[in-house]
Structure 1
Amino acid sequence: MNKKIQKIYIPMTETGFYILFCLQEEMHAYNITERVKEMTNDEIVISAGTMYTNLSKMEKDGLIQYTKETNSRKLYIITNLGQNILDIELKRIERLYKNSKGELYNGN
């Protein structure tokens, strides 16, 4: 695991989290935006500028990769590095949730 990349991305922004989470399936930016709106009941709406800035940075850092272009839309998917970062963040969020409910967290 690249510790420098881990320090950059963890803890994750909500935008970064949702982008990586969605890209466990191959998607393009508009699909991600719509999926996030659906998942959050329109509470989080990722603007085009924010989306493309994040996609570009995540691709440069190796968290996602471009797969192909369909109907003038670039499709991306999470990489192994991106999945590792997402898994760490999911465990961190789970720990926060359990601790907020007064449950002991044993890391499993």
Structure 2
Amino acid sequence: MPPFDPTRMLPLKPAHYLMLLVLADGDLHGYAIKKEIARRTEGRTRLGAGSLYRSLGQLEEAGLVAESEWRPREVLDDDRRRYLTLTARGRQVAAAETDRLARLVADARAAGLSS
């Protein structure tokens, strides 16, 4: 089997990239991922429940996220919540997408498209 090439999964959908970025900071449940994306984008990106959980399912199917064994303290937990973690493969894909986007921004700046 050839080694995993994260660039073969690019480009990522913007929402998928944001989900991977949020999970890079630690394990979260779906609603917390949604709230953190809204916070980080200052409300510019708001995901509905359907698109959020469909996207998380796609990321899990691709092996980029997985169900976490971590749980918060019992007093802060709700056993209905399913916590997700970024996998090593997910981290590689997020890093590759970050590099791809950085190159695009560098090209745009070189073309005078920066304010």
Give your verdict on TM over 0.5: yes
Shift of 1:49: 0.6
Determine helix, strand or coil for the equivalent of 1:77: strand
Give the corresponding residue for 1:16. Answer: 16
| Runs of 4+ that moved beyond 3 A | none
Higher relative contact order (CA 8 A, sep 6+): 2
Please report how far the alpha carbon of residue 34 of structure 1 lies from its aligned counterpart in structure 2 after TM superposition: 0.7
- 8 Å CA contact 2:29–2:83 kept in 1: the answer is yes
Match of 2:74 in 1: none
What's 1:106 paired with? none
Report how many residues are paired.
101
- CA-to-partner distance for each residue in 1:71-98, whole Å, 9 max, x for gaps? 1110001000000000000001111111
1:77 matched to 2:78? The reply is no
Aligned equivalents of 1:31 and 1:6: distance in 2? 28
Backbone CA RMSD of aligned residues: 1.8
2:44 and 2:56 map into 1 onto residues whose CA distance is 21
CA distance in structure 2 between the partners assigned to 1:17 and 1:61 by the alignment: 13
Q: Gaps (5+ residues) in structure 1?
A: 104-108
Q: Secondary structure at the match of 1:73?
A: coil
3-state SS, counterpart of residue 65 of structure 1: strand
Q: CA deviation at 1:6?
A: 4.5
- Contact 2:64–2:88 (Cα < 8 Å) also in 1: yes
Q: What percent identity do the matched residue pairs reach?
A: 21
Q: CA deviation at 1:2?
A: 3.2
Superposition map of 1:1-108 within 5 A: 1-3=3-5, 6-7=7-8, 9-24=9-24, 25-68=26-69, 70-71=77-78, 72-102=80-110
Deviates more, 1:28-37 or 1:67-76: 67-76
Higher Cα Rg, which structure: 2
Q: Which runs of 5+ in 2 are unaligned?
A: 72-76
